[in-house]
Amino acid sequence: MSESISQTTNETIFTKIINKEIPADILYEDELALAFSDINPQAPIHFLVIPKKPITTINAIQEEDKALVGHLYWVAAKLAEKHGFAKDGYRAVMNCNENGGQTVYHIHLHVLAGKAMGWPPYQDKLKTL
């Protein structure tokens, strides 16, 4: 699909996962959201929670999407409980645009768990504010 059509339809690789056109390790699904393991995990447990509605970035979240975005956190918490890492803790983070490190333009909550996370999240050479 060309970039212009992709931008018009908001279609990304995640649309293909939602439509089951490409495989994914799906952990949870309901009418609003889907959770699946990240293909390139950055922690012992790393999955993504996405809305089925293709919203490009945090900046594109509309008033009517507020409950939907909250739902993504609810799904993350349910899965944390189910997979036994709720008490130990985890990170649930959404990257936005280039400086946020976003590469797929369909919002997604990264859920990272299984070890203590570092903070701050940026590299040493970028530490100067």
Task: Please pick, from the candidates 13, 58, 77, 92, the single residue that binds ligand 5GP as defined by CB under 6 A.
Answer: 13
Q: How far from chain centre, in Å, is Cα 30?
A: 16
Whether residue 74 contacts residue 24, with contact meaning beta carbons closer than 8 Å, is answered with: no
Cis bond upstream, residue 41 (ω within 30): no
Q: Is 123 in the site for ligand 5GP (CB under 6 A)?
A: no
12 binds ligand 5GP (CB under 6 A): no
Q: CA–CA separation, 42 vs 9, rounded Å?
A: 29
Active site residue 106: no
CB of 103 to ligand 5GP, least distance (A): 4
Residue in 46, 71, 83, 108 annotated catalytic: 108
Residues numbered 50 to 89 that lie near ligand 5GP (CB under 6 A) are none
Distance from C-alpha of 36 to C-alpha of 22, rounded to nearest angstrom: 12
> Per CB under 6 A, does 39 bind ligand 5GP?
yes
d(CA 113, CA 36): 14
The reply to whether 44 sits near ligand 5GP by the rule CB under 6 A is: no
Residue 40 vs 99, nearer CB to ligand 5GP: 40
Catalytic residues: 108
